[in-house]
Amino acid sequence: MARLVMKFGGTSVADLDRIRNVARHVKREVDAGYDVAVVVSAMSGVTNQLVAWCRDAAALHDAREYDAVVATGEQVTAGLLAIVLEGMGVNARSWQGWQLPILTDNAHASARILDVNGAELIKRFEERKQVAVIAGFQGIHKETGRITTLGRGGSDTSAVAIAAAIKAERCDIYTDVDGVYTTDPRVVPKAHRMDKIAFEEMLELASLGAKVMQVRSVELGMVQNVRIFVRSSFVKPEDINPRANFLGTLICDESEIMEQQVVTGIAFSKDEAQISIRRVEDKPGVAAAIFGPLADASINVDMIVQNVSADGATTDLTFTVPSADYERARVTIEKAKGTIGFERLDGATDVAKVSVIGIGMRSHAGVAAMAFKALSEKKINIRAITTSEIKFSVLIDAAYTELAVRTLHTLYGLDKA
């Protein structure tokens, strides 16, 4: 019997009416003959409330107890959905992460999955035809026996890991949008939903600003080759034929995609800040003196540009950090000034990163050059550039973000569905 994992986010289970809607989606797949595991998030707003209570209780609280509190949101949803399914005549039971178990490391509030045991779920599929309703976002650290949570968006990761463990046909991620778009439709009205996208492309989109999927879940899907289908939970369950093609975006291996466009999508992020260190002595060890303290402070550095002066004695070094870490990064660099040896430090928070992604770039030359020319014609100045095999990113003034995204979306023919 084919197995299916269905994951529903917070907006999809926001209240009892929506939980009943989710139950109808689940029943449809059960009636179609699937063995189903359902992974649920906490009801919309619940996790935020639980986090706020922890912070109100103590500003510096124990991360282990924080996990014990915030994991309860998903537990409530799982229990309610199991109750509704039973009321509809569907054999179901709820599971918490530790009951499977989902084993994680000991990094409370941001744990990583080490292993998932799907044996009991498979046994119950075979013997009882029982739907498993699983609390996402959580697991257990085996050595301590403590509940752990996976961080924001962790239910997506839970779902993909469970799909791998039970060898599911695919993992359906139900959300409040009907798939993955070429860019944000609110910025570019001509943006359209993609039928398929390769894991690598989705990983880049997710890491560069697209909010549809959590980065770690896509990464896990790529490693375990779990096909992920992003679809809307707000389509009426009875309007979907589970054995026919339906609206959504399949995230899969690139071998499943017959025709690959040069550019698949445009991502952007305004959550960027730029730091420039001027007239740094150009000598071995300077980069380590700059980026070592930033790493120790858990500050992620993204784009890095270095310019060597005419005399070859000093250099200017520019890099970006998340805007939330801007002040911490400045303070960290200033504290290390004696070790680094620089003349001054400049910064800007009114910047944005725009990224162009596509597996087709591997075999096409001049893709980035086209963008640089198009942006220059729109009088958009590029502050920094980074590239990889299947994407390039430019740092620009934030005021030009939407113009840049629309320009590049049109340039690469993405306006045409």
Residues 33-50, buried b or exposed e (16+ Cβ, 10 A)? ebbbbbbbbbbbebbeeb
Q: pLDDT at position 213, please?
A: 83
**CA-CA distances (angstroms) from residue 22 to 11, 81, 155, 232, 234?**
11, 8, 16, 11, 9
Q: pLDDT at position 237, please?
A: 82
Q: pLDDT at position 394, please?
A: 95
**CA-CA distances (angstroms) from residue 374 to 355, 368, 407, 416?**
14, 10, 7, 18
Both tokens of residue 155?
Answer: 């239910």
Q: pLDDT at position 5, please?
A: 98
The 3-state DSSP class for residue 248 equals: coil
Q: Which CATH class is domain 266-411?
A: alpha beta
- Kindly report the number of other CB atoms within 10 A of residue 138's CB atom: 27
The CATH number, out of the four listed (3.40.1160.10, 3.40.50.300, 3.30.365.10, 3.40.50.150), of the domain defined by the range 3-255 = 3.40.1160.10
Residue intervals in the chain for CATH 3.40.1160.10: 3-255
Give pTM, 2 decimals.
Answer: 0.87
What torsion, rounded to 10 degrees, do the Cα atoms 158, 161, 167, 168 define? 40
φ and ψ at 162, to 5 degrees? -70, -40
How far, in Å, CA of 367 to CA of 391, rounded? 10
Q: pLDDT at position 404, please?
A: 97
Mean pLDDT by 10 residues, the chain (417 residues): 94 96 96 96 95 93 95 97 98 96 95 95 95 97 96 92 97 91 92 93 83 87 95 84 79 85 91 91 85 90 80 83 92 89 90 93 88 96 90 95 96 87
Residue intervals in the chain for CATH 3.30.2130.10: 266-411
Both tokens of residue 175?
Answer: 């959300």
